[in-house]
Structure 1
């Protein structure tokens, strides 16, 4: 973070200096919410939690090098006191992030949203943007009202780009996050069925996602909206922004286009990238055909920042997976391939995962281990049945359905009369592991997919010996 004195931070956050804190004490280290991450010069933000209260670690944080604690109750340490509880501390954190951003006029903020693909696209940006200048991006899915400002607060005078993943729990949430860190370039990947139970309809999801393009500056001020032309709800957002619109996709009308798409036996996709009349071949290091659209979104951003098509193709080809449990492929010593895509799931990402399994599993016996998709509301049963039908068309030999909430997947598969695969329904992760250990043979492939609450990453841990904790 840029160096700020406590009196300036107090002014920004609307807090009061308390304890042994001195107005001229200076924060010049990271802003953190975990006392274990404190470094010399840090500001430790104390928040309550279900199991622990950050205020209880205030003294330890200062002992580890924190200049002060920002919290909502007095502590036995130098601190900045915010009235109003955790919500007001989070609001104070957002105000601090905005002040830092406003002090970095040369830093471009790039925001990415969508129902799926946000983390992968952000990870791609985090790998390729450093070719153009110093870049800040969050780890994993650090995309909410806490992770968002904490990422921004890592920026300093040398930062050229800030790539942010922006999630939404409801209408107004993205607009709020954009207040803390106003993007110049906004990328909307797709509008799907994720969180349908929370939002109520795809139209409401589109309304929420479109808040990103509404937050962009006008075209005259340099604002750019990067929109997926292959998603009707996304390209319709062009009417909601005064920014310049750049479309990407597979259609000939897209400004940034992929053609001649293919998927190798490894599951990795390749395509010819067309931008402004110039073309280059891209061979991705990421697994799945669905990665083509994520790569195109990044290509559009890079082109807007002045990178040539050949350099864009090279940068995309050298990028590798960064975040765990997203098409994470492990080859066991016995030749069994484990594909861990268990971080989260919605109908669209389930379909993409099954397509990828079909490509990877050609000529091999394949297992699909599926948990339920959360937050689908009234569409829960119908969407799970649809996934079951998709399984029967993807070449899967054995479908393992984990948990009662995913039972409709098995029912959907059973309704397809000409499917000759096998369905095994199990109660939990432990039973899934037992079934797989009994049935897997050398050269088989198994894919794990479900919402995070299904816990299927624990199956991957047992099958591969990898540590499941993120």
Structure 2
């Protein structure tokens, strides 16, 4: 974080500064990182005591002080020696502090902010953008999936006076949440990747999802840029809702940043990248799955707007082997067995893309095994969407389907009701049962996909399978 005095922070968060028994004064400067987990605190850092669903950050404030916290932001005074700023809402104070830091860094005139949203692909695109932009300037981007009202401001607070690019991943589970993040850090470039059924149950339907994602671009100014997916019929109309210049990316002819000659293999996806300038280059993109090409195109579009030369864009894209842990992560290798662990998250769109990739990359005569768990947060659409994925597995001729967990069981039922399979779909209740089954049934040369929402916990099953066949 940029250096701010305790008094300046108190004003920014509209809180009451209490110095307690410390030797600090209102003019004491703080420039450490900001945390909501006391275990991450190091000397000079700030700890925000955030009440949580299962616990209360105030219970861990003493640990933060022991670790060297220079300041506590709390909702009630604590009997501790460190300086404290007492606020009415710790999460709100976190956002207010982030907005203050962003405004001060922006005042230097160098900072460019890129906001990224979409139902799928945010984290991959964020990581790709970081890889490209780090080649040309000091870049801050979120760790893991820091994209909500807590994670996004924590990333913003990593800014320093030298930062040139901030990539802000902005997720939401309801209308108004992206708008709230944008008030902290209005993007110069707003990216909308895709609108799908991820979190549709929380949003209240696809129309509400569209409204929420459109918040990324509706308040952009004329000098800003909206980077939109030309191939998504729910994203394309957002062009009529923004004052910003629109840059289209996609596979179709209406995109100005596009890919041609797309070819999917087990080593990745090759394509020819075309920029709006007319320049083009071949790319060997090693992140597995044709669907990730769209994330690469969005990255290229943003990078071109920011003046990154095409050769640097291509070199950065080709340097990335893994988008993020548990996202199309290739593991295994023993006896020719390939394990693809893509169980960090799942929606109908990403599940479809992963199954299509599995079917595309298996070599001739090689078996494909799909180990699938629940797609969460689909609300009333959950039943029919799980049915649809089960039928898709049949139609893609996946050799063996293993469905894990009661919430995903309809996938298994829909496949056996199709009537064309005899024992090619199996159901187990737990990941442990799935591991036992797969340890005995996976054959040399098989390609195994593990895919589910985070809550189903299959990402750890994927890790165990990767170790088993390594």
TM-score above 0.5: yes
2:96 match: 95
1:303 match: 304
Does the alignment pair 1:24 with 2:27?
A: yes
Q: What secondary structure, in the 3-state scheme, does the structure 2 residue paired with 1:131 have? A: coil
| Among 193, 197, 200, the residue aligned to 1:196 | 200
CA–CA separation in structure 1 for the residues paired with 2:31 and 2:463: 39
After TM superposition, the structure 1 = structure 2 runs for residues 282-297 of structure 1, keeping only pairs within 5 Å, are 282-297=283-298
2:47 match: 44
| Among 30, 33, 36, the residue aligned to 2:36 | 33
Spell out, residue by residue over 1:155-204, the C-alpha distance to the aligned partner (whole angstroms, 9 max, x if none): 10110001111101100000001111111100000000111212222121
1:340 match: 341
The question of whether the paired residues in 1 share the 8 Å contact of 2:73 and 2:87 is answered with no
Q: Which blocks of at least 5 consecutive residues in structure 1 are unaligned?
A: none
Q: What secondary structure, in the 3-state scheme, does the structure 1 residue paired with 2:62 have? A: helix
CA–CA separation in structure 2 for the residues paired with 1:445 and 1:327: 12
After TM superposition, the structure 1 = structure 2 runs for residues 61-140 of structure 1, keeping only pairs within 5 Å, are 61-75=64-78, 76-84=80-88, 88-105=89-106, 106-140=110-144
Does the alignment pair 1:442 with 2:444?
A: yes
CA–CA separation in structure 1 for the residues paired with 2:266 and 2:55: 47
Q: What secondary structure, in the 3-state scheme, does the structure 1 residue paired with 2:44 have? A: coil
Q: What is the CA-CA distance between 1:242 and the residue it aligns to?
A: 0.6
The question of whether the paired residues in 1 share the 8 Å contact of 2:77 and 2:86 is answered with no
Does the alignment pair 1:186 with 2:190?
A: yes
CA–CA separation in structure 1 for the residues paired with 2:334 and 2:412: 31
Q: What is the CA-CA distance between 1:305 and the residue it aligns to?
A: 0.7
1:416 match: 418
Structure 1 stretches of 4+ with a deviation exceeding 6 A read none
Spell out, residue by residue over 1:283-331, the C-alpha distance to the aligned partner (whole angstroms, 9 max, x if none): 1020000011000000000110112323322221122324211001102
Does the alignment pair 1:57 with 2:60?
A: yes
The question of whether the paired residues in 2 share the 8 Å contact of 1:25 and 1:67 is answered with no
Q: What is the CA-CA distance between 1:420 and the residue it aligns to?
A: 6.3
Does the alignment pair 1:374 with 2:376?
A: yes
Q: What secondary structure, in the 3-state scheme, does the structure 2 residue paired with 1:257 have? A: strand
After TM superposition, the structure 1 = structure 2 runs for residues 236-255 of structure 1, keeping only pairs within 5 Å, are 236-255=237-256
Spell out, residue by residue over 1:22-76, the C-alpha distance to the aligned partner (whole angstroms, 9 max, x if none): 2122111111111222222211111223454322332332232221111111121
Q: What is the CA-CA distance between 1:136 and the residue it aligns to?
A: 0.3
CA–CA separation in structure 2 for the residues paired with 1:371 and 1:287: 20
Spell out, residue by residue over 1:96-145, the C-alpha distance to the aligned partner (whole angstroms, 9 max, x if none): 11111111122111010000011100010111111120000011111110
The question of whether the paired residues in 2 share the 8 Å contact of 1:69 and 1:77 is answered with no
The question of whether the paired residues in 2 share the 8 Å contact of 1:357 and 1:394 is answered with no
2:454 match: 452
CA–CA separation in structure 2 for the residues paired with 1:38 and 1:358: 46
Q: Decide whether aligned partners of structure 1 residues 311 and 458 sit closer, same or farther in structure 2, where only a CA change above 3 A counts.
A: closer
The question of whether the paired residues in 2 share the 8 Å contact of 1:248 and 1:300 is answered with yes
Q: Which blocks of at least 5 consecutive residues in structure 2 are unaligned?
A: none
Q: What secondary structure, in the 3-state scheme, does the structure 2 residue paired with 1:457 have? A: helix
The question of whether the paired residues in 2 share the 8 Å contact of 1:259 and 1:271 is answered with yes
Q: Decide whether aligned partners of structure 1 residues 233 and 50 sit closer, same or farther in structure 2, where only a CA change above 3 A counts.
A: closer
CA–CA separation in structure 2 for the residues paired with 1:49 and 1:171: 22
Q: Quick check: 334-343 or 420-429, which moved more?
A: 420-429
CA–CA separation in structure 1 for the residues paired with 2:254 and 2:337: 43
Q: What secondary structure, in the 3-state scheme, does the structure 2 residue paired with 1:162 have? A: strand
Spell out, residue by residue over 1:345-384, the C-alpha distance to the aligned partner (whole angstroms, 9 max, x if none): 1100001000111123233212101111111122111111
1:325 match: 326
The question of whether the paired residues in 2 share the 8 Å contact of 1:188 and 1:234 is answered with yes
